[in-house]
Structure 1
Amino acid sequence: MGSSDFSANSSPLPLRLYSSMYEYAWTDVGAVNKIESLAQPVYDSASYMGSILYYIHDTSYSEMEVPLMGCGENSSQALSSSHGNCSQICFDSNTLYMPYNLQPCLSLGVAAMLIQSGSLVLDETEKNTETALKQYNVGNLSTWDGTSIVQNIIDCTVAACTENKIGECPSKMLSLDGLTVTADNLQTVYAGLGSFCTNIGTTVNSDIAGPGVMLSYLVQICAALLFWIIAKLLASWTRVITWPFLLCRQPPPPSFDSLLSPASHSQVPGRRKSAWLRATAIQRRLSRLRLHAATLTMLVEFQETQAFFVGAIQIATLATFKPTATTQSDSANTVTFGEAISDSQLVQTLCVNGTLPILLVQCLLQRYGMRWWYTFALVSANVILAFVVDARRNYLIADFDALWSVFVASNPVDACGGLANPQVYCDTLGTVYASISNGIYALYFTVPVLIIDFLAPSIMRLRNVDTALNTWRRTNRVFRFLEAKVWPLFLKTFWFFLEFALLLSLCFYSARLFIISLYMTEDGSLGTWGFGQLVAVMVWVPPLLKFVYLNIFGIEEGLGRRLAHDYRVVHDELPVGEGADAASGIVELDELQQGQGDWKENPYAPSDAGTLAQSLRMGSHENLIQSPPELYNPEYKRSWPPRWPKS
């Protein structure tokens, strides 16, 4: 290919240069932004080179502009407003192969070759070109040895395919081996450089996203959704779902005559209320199923398990992902900039979005009145750690210079001046893990509600508050109406939208996590099963197996065997929603077994009734007297006396 083949114009195409230096201080942005701005220069260099060749081939262009990102002796100079001397940097093997110098040096080298071949002419009178030439100390391009610059870059990239290689190079890149660069074969050079990163993928740390670890994340989400759906179906949803069907199938009363009645059967007064009562009765029977009791019983243990699981990830992230590259940090296990970015972004996603299942289960627990300070403290710790991780998101990765030093030491290439293999720049932009940490917004509106709901019962029990409320109830009719009619409806509506928003966030997170798993499976970066992967999955086996056990053998058998001999499991006959313990049950001290006091001899003595009330863990003594509990401890089960005092 001769010089006339580059341009169909009868005269050389005017070339204009302009500075594309960043307009703000990059020292104030996160490490990931800096790395992405400096990495992948091989692909960018080939792109700019292809643009130059395209402009020459296309006769519709009367001029050509080439951006210059600037030369630098180090990363600080490359990302600041200061400009290096390109005429020296591009001919020095110690600086030519630095990632931030490849693009400007290759562009200037190709431009110099085409100027000297007569395909281009530098428009030095144009203002931007004049400024760029002075800023970057380019000098006279007609005297540049552009061929040596391009040849050195080709020799470096070809050697990177065989010496300390990170991935396989395509055939187009390998075909450049032994090629002598001239203005006639620049198109071949462009095709080879453009394919350099084709086969280079990102391998995520298996401790972060191995097959077992990814499966463990998905199991957590699925289990939380399963428990939430079961609890909702057995406690409230069934009534709403079955009511329309019962309304349609309800037969007319015997006294109804369609010929004599002016209204249709569907307009008979009280029909809707009757169907709703039947649906409520069905809902009440479902809420007393063993499945419902097992689900609520397992919620606390499952909440504890996932709180420690996510907390371990959060603590490990803060401990190992640091802005400095040390042997204890994640940087020691990465071989490319892309891996460092992917690891950092993925752990941020897991640390923040991993709290979504925890918040969903906590909402369910508090809606059932199961406000336990232990689980609430665990949830609070997870939320605090999530906010800390989000606040430090720009510091959960080593800076560019630290990573560059690690790569130079681990993957040097002699043909590249002893610097790192250029393959370390590949696959750094547009990673699939970016921009999926949006779960932090769900924390902003969920956490305050949970805190208020957790503290509200304690505040309402304060003597001054309770006295004031009772006074308002007696004296203010509007307050009684708001408390009895408006407030319950408002709470139900508010909790519905809160859980719905939280559920949407969790579904979005699970879908993205599933896509990441498929992406990693397709490109082979998911890794293989090993010791650590099996351990990661087994963390969910105890609570899930216990859930199955409770459904098969019952709550009494499952929990009764775990208690001390002086405690027993008592079933509370209160319907769901009528007391803090209505959805669970009561564990009480077995005074009958202990034989303490005179209560055994005289169960109706007033002085001993207080002793019984003190033995109750939770619940109301009046409810116990009105509805005597059924004892489920088979070893100490006994019939109650025929007489029972009425309150």
Structure 2
Amino acid sequence: MGSNDETSYYGGYGAFTPGVQSTAKFANTPAAPTKLTTSSTYTTSAQLTRPTIKGGSSSSEKSTCTGTASILTSSTAAARSPTSSISSPEPAHTNAPTKFAQMVDRKDPMLYEVTEEQLLKTPFGDICPSGNCVDDCKNTTRVFQAIPQGLQVDPLRYGRMEAQTANVTLFSTCSNLEFSTNFATAEENVNFTPYFSTNDSTDLFKVAANIASCFVATCEQTRKPTLCADACSPAKLLSSPTTFDYMLGLPDCVVRLCDNTCSLPYVDPDVLGIGVLISYFIQALLLVICATAIVVSAGFQLWKVSQAQPTVRESLRSPLETFVRVQALFGISLAIATLIMRPDEIDPLNGYALILTAIMGFLPPVFTLMLLHSHGVRSRFSTALVFVSYLLNTVTFFILVRNLSISTHDRLFLDKAIDSLFSAKACGGGSAISLCYQLTGTDPVGFLSGFYDNSSFANIKTVPLLWIWTTLVLLVLITRHLAATTQKRSDAVGQLPPAKPQGLDRSKRPSGFHAFLSKPLFKFFILSLATILFFLCLLYQYLLVRANALMDVVDQKGWSFGQVVALLFWVPPFLDILRSMYEKEKYEKVQNAHESQS
């Protein structure tokens, strides 16, 4: 698969290509010669998360997230000073905008020129319900809505190019307000001019200042503000106090906000913070050590000692029971917290992280329970706890999988998710990220969903395989546990002398297929095979954790109260191990003293 195929399949995960100058060409008209009026070189920090192809298979690589981009700023308007301010209106400039530009893509041709003929046919009565677009543009809340309130349009088509044409949007109306007012004055069209009349000379300045302020505030809310701070500054967005720079300034800012995942905030630390992440690695490490020791012990006891049922030392039973119970209690806590967060309405950023925590709630506890049962360590309480953890996390798991499998293709759902993740007072409670889809056809949440949907084998389509395997194992464990409990009760009742001749006892010995199932080789094979499959499941789970690391959405420095509690969950198993070691040493001393006296 070539590089072009890779980009078309995965999408462009990355804000920009360092060192490449943006041309900001028009999609429907030849780009006019652009005079380079000023240039500046600055360093940006970008989280590039582009899945790459290695040896014909998909993998994901994390870039260094830093790059020096030398970008020539250009404009058809007069040169702007790097220290320009929008704190007060300036005199009208001589180089007024000559085109009504609208951004339609994240790569060239980025811009679409709305012709005068199309402007005159545009239904501004729907776009500007107040009857005056200048007044409507002062409503920042409505300007920065994915679909402005009151507009009945298809969210997948609003502002997008179709048949070499793009319908005028409210944002493009407000960001081209100076051109429209000048055109309205010159044209004096009864169907157009009334929508762009103003009696206050500062109205255009106020609208431009509000829009620029929203972009600044949105950039400050992102996870990587250094990526967009310079490009989204008022000095780069505006070529004059009332004119947006559509030749580079605005497109450059929008691409840095929309065409990557760095603009996303961190995952809710209570969902997947540094404490929960470390807990995952502790759990996985202890589980691998425990599984390796159990398999080795089973092989030794089945062959060397010729025991029908492998066992563990009495001093280890309590730590192992504590280990499985802590995992089950941790999983139950995660499931309850997930249900409180309404997994059927959760945004994709936190939703994909919750899928990982749901897996932590049913996969490792069942794996541990299988290892303990293989050595005769059974208790109704531990099995019940694991079952409850499995049941609760199964509910949250499938709610999340269903929600993220269907809703991530729903534009209204994604727009709602963006609104829940970003909220800036300067944007009227919304954010500039809400405009991403209508301006570029992409958005950070969409990029995130595409990554988890297509990045590797570990994705939203294959993750139910973990639940299927875990369910099969748990059903077998519960069945065998119930059978063993029933057998113990029968043995307790049947303590009377045998009523049948002794020779019939041989008939109770396993024979044929049952004898084969009872052979040490078969028992060891089944235990080893199940352990290997669980190891593969843990590897799959690690790939999901790695995906979050590639997205860099986990705040690895945010130690909150919940993170400390998540980490302290693993203190009881360690304390129980220390207690068992101390009691074993104490018992051996007493035993040695007794033997020396005798």
Q: TM-score range by the shorter chain?
A: 0.5 to 0.7
Q: Does 1:444 align with 2:467?
A: no
Q: Separation in 2 of the partners of 1:113 and 1:395?
A: 32
Aligned equivalent of 1:391, options 398, 417, 422: 398
Q: Does 1:191 align with 2:221?
A: no
Q: How does 1:180-579 map to 2 (within 5 A)?
A: 185-186=246-247, 189-197=250-258, 200-236=263-299, 280=304, 294-321=315-342, 340-393=347-400, 410-413=423-426, 418-423=428-433, 427-431=444-448, 435=459, 437-438=463-464, 439-460=466-487, 480-488=511-519, 490-514=522-546, 516-517=548-549, 520=552, 525-551=555-581, 553=582, 555=584, 557=586
Q: Which amino acid aligns with 1:528?
A: G
SS at match of 2:265: coil
Cα displacement string for residues 12-69 of structure 1 (whole angstroms, at most 9, x for unaligned residues): xxxxxxxxxxxxxxxxxxxxxxxxxxxxxxxxx955374655899xxxxxxxxxxxxx
- Number of residue equivalences: 412
Contact 1:170–1:196 (8 Å) recurs in 2: no
Cα displacement string for residues 591-611 of structure 1 (whole angstroms, at most 9, x for unaligned residues): xxxxxxxxxxxxxxxxxxxxx
Cα displacement string for residues 547-597 of structure 1 (whole angstroms, at most 9, x for unaligned residues): 24534x45374xx7xxxxxxxxxxxxxxxxxxxxxxxxxxxxxxxxxxxxx
Contact 1:298–1:547 (8 Å) recurs in 2: yes
Q: Separation in 2 of the partners of 1:302 and 1:350?
A: 18
Aligned equivalent of 1:89, options 122, 127, 136: 127
| Cα distance, 1:3 vs structure 2 | 9.2
Aligned residue in 1 for 2:61: none
Q: Which amino acid aligns with 1:352?
A: I
Contact 1:352–1:390 (8 Å) recurs in 2: yes
| Cα distance, 1:381 vs structure 2 | 0.4
Q: Separation in 2 of the partners of 1:640 and 1:508?
A: 57
Aligned residue in 1 for 2:213: 159
Q: Separation in 2 of the partners of 1:173 and 1:514?
A: 31
TM-score (norm 2): 0.55
In structure 2, runs of 5+ residues without a counterpart are: 1-23, 33-101, 114-121, 149-154, 169-190, 197-203, 437-442, 454-458
Q: Separation in 1 of the partners of 2:469 and 2:31?
A: 59
Identify if the C-alpha distance between structure 1 residues 201 and 376 changes in structure 2 by more than 3 Å, giving closer, same or farther.
Answer: same
Q: Separation in 1 of the partners of 2:244 and 2:268?
A: 44
Contact 2:214–2:431 (8 Å) recurs in 1: yes
Q: Separation in 2 of the partners of 1:545 and 1:493?
A: 33
Q: Separation in 2 of the partners of 1:4 and 1:219?
A: 54
Contact 1:341–1:428 (8 Å) recurs in 2: yes
Q: Does 1:178 align with 2:238?
A: yes
| Cα distance, 1:454 vs structure 2 | 1.2
Q: Does 1:7 align with 2:30?
A: yes
| Cα distance, 1:453 vs structure 2 | 1.6
Calculate the aligned-residue CA RMSD, in Å: 5.4
Q: Separation in 1 of the partners of 2:558 and 2:27?
A: 55
Identify if the C-alpha distance between structure 1 residues 484 and 47 changes in structure 2 by more than 3 Å, giving closer, same or farther.
Answer: same
Identify if the C-alpha distance between structure 1 residues 55 and 441 changes in structure 2 by more than 3 Å, giving closer, same or farther.
Answer: farther
Cα displacement string for residues 410-466 of structure 1 (whole angstroms, at most 9, x for unaligned residues): 52335xxx3512236653124366636543233232221112221222344676999
Q: Separation in 2 of the partners of 1:104 and 1:444?
A: 43
Contact 2:217–2:426 (8 Å) recurs in 1: yes
Q: Separation in 1 of the partners of 2:296 and 2:276?
A: 30
Q: Which amino acid aligns with 1:420?
A: G
Contact 1:407–1:420 (8 Å) recurs in 2: no
Q: Separation in 2 of the partners of 1:188 and 1:406?
A: 27
Aligned residue in 2 for 1:588: none
Q: Separation in 2 of the partners of 1:390 and 1:532?
A: 21
Q: Separation in 1 of the partners of 2:337 and 2:278?
A: 19
| Cα distance, 1:200 vs structure 2 | 1.7
SS at match of 2:264: coil
| Cα distance, 1:226 vs structure 2 | 1.3
| Cα distance, 1:485 vs structure 2 | 3.1
Identify if the C-alpha distance between structure 1 residues 110 and 527 changes in structure 2 by more than 3 Å, giving closer, same or farther.
Answer: farther
Q: Which amino acid aligns with 1:483?
A: H
SS at match of 2:335: helix
SS at match of 2:323: helix
Contact 1:472–1:479 (8 Å) recurs in 2: no
| Cα distance, 1:100 vs structure 2 | 3.9
| Cα distance, 1:476 vs structure 2 | 6.8
Q: Separation in 2 of the partners of 1:104 and 1:399?
A: 15
SS at match of 2:564: helix
Identify if the C-alpha distance between structure 1 residues 501 and 428 changes in structure 2 by more than 3 Å, giving closer, same or farther.
Answer: same
Contact 2:367–2:534 (8 Å) recurs in 1: yes
Q: Does 1:98 align with 2:145?
A: yes
| Cα distance, 1:373 vs structure 2 | 0.4
Q: Which is greater in Rg?
A: 1
Q: Which amino acid aligns with 2:584?
A: I
SS at match of 2:238: coil
Q: Separation in 2 of the partners of 1:188 and 1:433?
A: 32
Q: Which amino acid aligns with 2:446?
A: L
Contact 1:210–1:528 (8 Å) recurs in 2: yes
Q: How does 1:1-80 map to 2 (within 5 A)?
A: 6-7=29-30, 46=103, 48=105, 50=107, 52=109
Q: Separation in 2 of the partners of 1:8 and 1:420?
A: 33
Q: Which amino acid aligns with 2:426?
A: V
Q: Separation in 1 of the partners of 2:473 and 2:213?
A: 55
Q: Which amino acid aligns with 2:467?
A: I
Q: Separation in 2 of the partners of 1:184 and 1:535?
A: 50
Aligned residue in 2 for 1:334: none
Contact 1:307–1:378 (8 Å) recurs in 2: yes
Q: Which amino acid aligns with 1:387?
A: T
| Cα distance, 1:190 vs structure 2 | 3.1
Identify if the C-alpha distance between structure 1 residues 419 and 85 changes in structure 2 by more than 3 Å, giving closer, same or farther.
Answer: farther
